[in-house]
A and B are shown apart, each in its own frame.
Chain A
Amino acid sequence: MQGQKNLQKIHQASKDGVGGSPLRPDGTLKVKGEFAYSSDLWHEDMLWGTALRSPHPRATILSVDVSEALAVPGVYAVLTHEDIPGEKYYGLEIADQPALAIDKVRYHGEAIALVAADHPETARRAVKKIRVEYEVLTPITTEEQCLDPETHGYVHEPHEYKSHAYGNVCHEQKLVSGLGVTDEVRALADVIVTGEYEVGMQDQAFLGPESGLAVPAEDGGVDLYVATQWLHVDRQQMAPVLDLPLEKVRLTLAGVGGAFGGREDLSMQIHACLLALRTGRPVKIVYARDESFFGHVHRHPARMRYEHGATRDGKLVFADCRIVLDGGAYASASPAVVGNAASLGHGPYVIPNVRMHAIALYSNNPSCGAMRGFGAVQAAFGYESQMDRLAEALGMDPVELRQLNAVTQGDRMPTGQEIDAPAPVAELLQRVKDMPLPPPLDPEHPDVRTLPGALSNTSHGEGIVRGVGYSVGIKNVGFSEGFDDYSTARVRLEVIGGEPVAMVHTAMAEVGQGGVTVHAQIARTELGVEQVTIHPANTEVGSAGSTSASRQTYMTGGAVKLAAEAVRHELLERGRHRYGWTRDDLSLAGGKVVSASAGVLIAIVDLLGDDAIEQTREHHHRPTVPFDKETGQGFGHVQYTFCANRAVVDVDVELGLVKVVELTAVQDVGKALNPLSVVGQIQGGCTQALGLAVMEEIVVKDGKVRNASFTDYLIPTILDTPPIPVQLLELPDPHAPYGLRGVGEAPTVSATPSIVAAIRQATGKALTRIPVRPEHLTDTL
């Protein structure tokens, strides 16, 4: 009996395996200040690089004179596009962006020339000595101007288009389902509500600035240590510009201080390598905060028009939607963002008849691309505002209206795609509604620090009204529309110091999301060992794809699982061969090979000996197809994920100040591989949504950025952020590893509309633009 007990103990899932919450392997280094972020790198003899950036959003470059800059003592190189050895253009989806401006600039802050010097201040001073003659042109900045190129001109001349662009339209996606939206369809609805909505330009505002160190190599290539979201796609874009074969451009991930989509495009990668290859010395580039605002793409600002019809009892009849996204000067990820907006832009609702038209424009505003939520965020503000409007028109409870129309497993999206995994939208809403409300404001003894305006002491409780709002959102996981999305992992099992140790090597960018923790958990679970080492991420192993689209645990986690399973298989085969085992009930647990019926067979270390086992596997998700251009039909998304929110706000209606009192989230995560991290992701996602709702916007006027600093671009502080109670649902997705669901983005999609709904409830204002500003609440625009 003792043996059986021991077996139970061996089989007990390790608390540090899948489903547990072991601590981050990099946590101790991070709290000691010893974790090397990309901006912390240092090399003997290194130079500092910086860029000259355009003060104009649109201009023709007549001449560039770098001679004075070159003459500054301590300057080692000054480069323009003429010094680029290879291709001059790059891009994530469309190679339409010059590595350094050629003949014209298309946005405020575009890089024109580069300087390498022995001190960052020397480099900055030299940049000021580069003489550029411009012919300044009127920027093309509004939807109306963009859509009338005959009058206002082209951001890219038509002969420069490198994709299916036309006019100043970078990309478009239409969708029609059911009967579409015709007069006959409209006549079927008892109530019709229309609304026009606007979303401002949000910034990822990751704290660690774009930075890295490029080191020229003896073979004529270059080694780059960099903070990025996808090492291999960086390399793929960089090598042609540097005129080097892929294998001579080697990238290693340096510590990443947040990303949120903003590191999906190149920033300083090519620039640092160009300078290093020219000077023959290591070159470090670290953006200052203003340069960071100029140097990465932002969330697309949007203008949207929605029309919804419903029967008197609340059943949706049709939705007619137009979403216009300002993509700025270069394409970046705009085509994929448009695809998401079009295919997810109706929300998680069953709507028999739909018409949708989503477009991204080229303009002389800052370039926009990937940011957490990726096209689904803007639309969610539109459709959820419409749900509240419809509920009001019907005299229904807004949560009940949503539940009445909520999709569930087996329903079809307007793209025709069947939802073939759990979709507990109505349940998420019910749970969020049932969670206890925070206590009411105590009008007698308020702590002014908890009131709107907080430390500014603007109120002692008078003029403050409380509101409650609800929302739910939908997001896809992974890359869509036929993209061959995959990840690679190498797992090695060997004996070190008498213990079996698993080593996991992937190219996954750890940007703070906790993938490194989860990979170790997966290896522990699959191999039954405690010790796991995570190899630094680099391009020596196959691509991991991007740390975006909520995909890394699904994709790279899936690859680690496959590789670990292959290692386990080989180990057990070795045992079968060596010892003639014929049982098929073998597994690895507690550092041993275990048979369910016969107990412990051998210790892993004894079976492994000096002969380590290593396996590499790719994990591809099931194939998707591109949406039909005209009808939007197609199995375009791998997985859907849902989150519901409730916001409670206090509004000072005299001053227009808002304090979010509580923001509750309930999300279906399929399987929480690491509950502590999952909850942290949801809370962080909700906070970025709060920022978009009430404070975050890059203010662009006539193409010029007015607030490129943390003084003027406001992100939520700990005083602005309320308690965020989170409840998890775990309904496994049969198609995903462990049944998991991507987590990171859904709360950022869903939480913004709940906050705006709560402010509407408190104030009675329509509020069709975010971020909501005090002037919207006090009619003092």
Chain B
Amino acid sequence: MPTTLTTDVEIKPGIGAGGGKLGPGGDPFGSGPAGSKDWPPGWTSEDAIEPEKYRIGMWVGLASILMLFIALTSAYIVRGVPALSGGDSDWLPIAMPGVLWFTTGVLLVSSVTIEFARRALKRNEYARFKRWISLTTLFGVAFLVGQLIAWQQLAAQGVFINSHPHSSFFYLLTSLHGVHLLGGVIALSYVTVAALRMRIGFKRRTAVDVTAIYWHFMDGLWIYLFGLLFFFR
């Protein structure tokens, strides 16, 4: 039973109903300042609650991802400290593949570019938005390629996942981070394609926002893992 709500419905975050999914389908192709009380025709109170819902969902999801890496960090520390791992430590740190400096830099810059993209979208500067969001996606892909090169360099030295504990953790942490980052790249590609096809509506604005939160988190997570793996060994 579709009910069109009128514009004078008062909207409070945390009150109301919602449902639906992040993705296409019935998007109003409008652009309007989020949080405004004057909805363009066709928008409903739900559209105003959506962003809140996705943002909460993202933060909650990030908490669980954080716990995954906290658990692995504790494993890393226990496995690496001889007194804790039972004495016979076979800890042998690997040499850092040089390409990691490059990938770290790329990821740092991509966090800046996604912020530029988000700001441009807020100011409705579509050309700039398209440029920055495409660049961010490319940087994301470049990072992943860089990680693969790092693996290749290590494999060429004969360092594999089962060589010794430090290399096990290196492969494990980089691949888990990589899988999560790949999810971010897929989300970025989705908004980039939407942007190039000039279809950035209310919902996709939320998608850009939420993706940016995720992207910054993945960036921070990588800096942390990079530090853990190569400056705490």
Q: Answer yes or no: are A and B bound together in one complex.
A: no
